[in-house]
Each structure stands twice: as structure tokens, then as C-alpha cells.
Amino acid sequence: MNTDRITLAALASLPGMGPARLRWLTAQYRPSDALEKLRKGSLNSVASGKVPKGINQKLLLRWRNASRQLCIESLAQKYDECGVSILLPQDNAWPFHDDIEPPSLLFYKGAIELLASSRKVAVIGTRRCSSVGRKMAYLLGEAFATANVTTVSGLALGVDGASHKGALAAGGRVLAVVGTGLDVIYPKKNASLWRDVEEKGLLISENPLGAKPEKWRFPARNRLLAGLSAGVVVVESHAKGGSLLTVDEALARDKSVMVVPGSALNAAAIGSNALLKDGAVPVCEASDVYTELGWAMTHKKVVPEAVHAGTLASATSGITRSELASRILGEVGAGDVHMDSLVMSLGLPVHMVMAQVQQLVVAGDLRCDGSTLCLP
């Protein structure tokens, strides 16, 4: 690993060194010069360029003391031992040349060639998603896998993880942008999925080794999700949340914002439904994404991994409307059924089930009491 790369990584590891501060510092000095100035205490907080918020003499003193403790050789060895590589703006694979707020460097593990693909879509949503939202995210990832589309997400619980699981189960391409160092698995419940992405896809971060899951790192991470993708699909979002921040970042970069419609009674879909009111493109199936982005639907033959009980496989071909109606009525005939439970039981795409339920309600064959279905 050359000196500039590891020195830049060393600067990124200084306390309180966020993306904007590192970008400001490296816009003025070569990494080695910046490190030398910090160690000597000769860096002026009013140096040229717009000074980011929070840079003052107190912070510069912290940087001076911390930089004097850094050993470049030991740090290089640590990155080698962890199998983490560093990507810089001068590298051919760099994806942020035209971004309005690019990172100064990226840390990565896995298939770096995935950055070169233009067919990347971010699937985002709340960690506290409904079972329907989780299944929809899974199905989108699965569908993208068969269309040579890379599923981009943040490897969080809920929607993020479900989309990656769907893509991986179908042998697809996955790219995860995380808000910690690549040696700090977060959330721990996704440890197995994290390792799968490392081995079968690409894991990237702008945070150095050892970076903890501090709250400020995740909004910063969201701009990378938006910047890497041709568009973002919001599966579910509460009235407030990180997904809406990612949408703001996408709009700032003139990226397509697409939304899976949710029930008006679903609290997890309040924010995403509001985006639809504001003009976001509705997505009921993967083909809606391809249409919005102007992509031809090129499919590859894949052999999916075994799908465990309770997940949705691509078992939708061949079923007629009358057959689906009969299955729905059979489920409800055994007792009142919540919409989420019905979708899980049928193992079919959400939009397909909801469309048939609506027809049965209109025909008077079913009654909808909130999210619960019952016979009239």
C-alpha cells in the first residue's frame, strides 16, 4: 500500500475527522504534508478554503496530539491483515468524479469491479418495516439479480438486509455501503449477511478501520448510497427517518426517486406514501424501475440458493386470477386474516395479492376491516 493511501487513511482516523473536514484538509495539502503540519501544530484553522463547522484551535490540538501517536507502518500492516483496500479519486474505479460532495477515499472489501456498472439501484427503507415491506424488498433484490442489476443498500436491518438477501439468494450482485469501519460489523444481527456481501459482492465505507457506529456517520453514508446508484427505491419509510435523507441526497444529484406504495393504515409507509404525493414514481414490480431508468430488461439464468420457509420464492408463474382468488378466499374462509399474514401464507408478490384482494372487495366477496380481511 503506497504512502499517500495509508497516510490519508491515517488522517481519516483522527478524532472528529468527518468527510467534510477531511475534504477541506486534503484540498489544501498532500496527505503527507497535512500530517506533518498537524504533528508540528503549524496548521492554521483559518487556512484557505471554506472552513467546515467545528474546526477550531481546540480540535487542531486534538489532531496534533493524535497524529503524533500514529505509526504509518503499523497502520498499513493492520489494513493488510484485515484485507481492506483503499480507493482514491485518481484510481480508474473511482465512482464519484462528478459528485457534489465526494468522499476523499473509500475503503473496500470484495469485487471492486461492481463500481463500474451503470445498472445499480439503491433499495432503501425503514429498519422497522412491516412483513409486507420486508418481502417486497426481498423480491426486488431477487428480480434485480435476474436482470443484471446490482442491488445497493446500507446493510441495515429491515428493508436493506431483505433486499440484499433476495439478490444473493438469486445469485445476483450486491453492493453495501456501511456507516462504520469495515472491521466493525453493525448491526451485529446482520453479521452473517455482512460476510456474504464481502464474499459475493462489494462492501465499501468512507470510514477507517475501528470507526464505531456513531449517529453522524449514517447521514453521511446516505449520500454515497444516492451517489452510487442510478436511482433509489423507497420500500417503506416512517414520517421521519434516514430513508428520507437519502431521498434528499438523490434529488440533489438529479437521481430518480421511486416508491413502493403502502397501505394508508401502515405507519411504516407514511413517509414513503408522502413521497408519492410529491411526485415520486410508483413501483409495484421491478419492471417499473427499469422503465423509469430507461433500461432494457436483459435477464440471466440463475440457480437460486434454497429459500428457507417463510421467504418468498419466484413462484408466481402460471397462476391465474381465478386460482389466486380461490386461494385468497380459502385463506380468509378459515378465519379473519391480516393482510401481512395473507401475503406470507400465499408466498406471492405483494402487488399481485393486493390487486386481487381489491377486486374481491369491490365484488363483495371480501370485506376489509382496516388491514384485516374477513368474509362479508
Could you read off the pLDDT of 177-211 as tens digits, one per residue? 999 999 999 999 999 999 999 999 999 999 999 99
pLDDT for 52 beyond 50: yes
Strand 372-374 to 367-369 pairing: antiparallel
The arithmetic mean of pLDDT across residues 60-72, rounded, is 94
pLDDT for 107 beyond 80: yes
Nearest of 289, 274, 178, 271 to residue 233 by alpha carbon: 289
Residues 123 and 50: their CA atoms lie apart, in Å, by 34
- 316, 294 in Cβ contact below 8 A? no
pLDDT for 314 beyond 50: no
Strand 106-110 to 85-87 pairing: antiparallel
Residue 1 pLDDT grade (very low, low, confident, very high; cuts 50, 70, 90): low
pLDDT for 344 beyond 90: no
DSSP string covering 164-225, please?
HHHHHHTT--EEEE-SS-TTS-SSGGGHHHHHHHHHHSEEEESSPTT----TTHHHHHHHHH
The string of pLDDT tens digits covering residues 236-282 is: 999 998 999 999 999 999 999 999 999 998 999 999 999 999 999 99
- 228, 119 in Cβ contact below 8 A? no
Residues 372 and 266: their CA atoms lie apart, in Å, by 12
pLDDT for 234 beyond 60: yes
Per-residue confidence (pLDDT) for residue 317, from 0 to 100? 43
How many CB atoms are closer than 10 A to CB 164?
31
Per-residue confidence (pLDDT) for residue 309, from 0 to 100? 30
- Name residue 206's amino acid: E
Per-residue confidence (pLDDT) for residue 313, from 0 to 100? 35
pLDDT for 302 beyond 80: no
pLDDT for 51 beyond 90: no
Residue, of 170 and 304, whose pLDDT is higher: 170
Dihedral sign, Cα of residue 242, residue 248, residue 250, residue 255 = positive
Per-residue confidence (pLDDT) for residue 349, from 0 to 100? 79
- 116, 37 in Cβ contact below 8 A? no
Cell numbers representing residue 129 in the block: 418495516
pLDDT for 318 beyond 90: no
DSSP 348: S
* b/e 333-342 (16+ beta carbons within 10 angstroms → b): eeeebebbbb
Residues 6+ apart with CB under 8 A from 164: 141, 151, 153, 155, 174, 176, 193, 196, 197, 201
DSSP 154: -
Using only C-alpha atoms, the chain has a radius of gyration, in whole angstroms, of: 23
The arithmetic mean of pLDDT across residues 15-40, rounded, is 93
- 18, 216 in Cβ contact below 8 A? yes
Residues 151 and 338: their CA atoms lie apart, in Å, by 30
- 121, 333 in Cβ contact below 8 A? no
Residues 197 and 305: their CA atoms lie apart, in Å, by 15
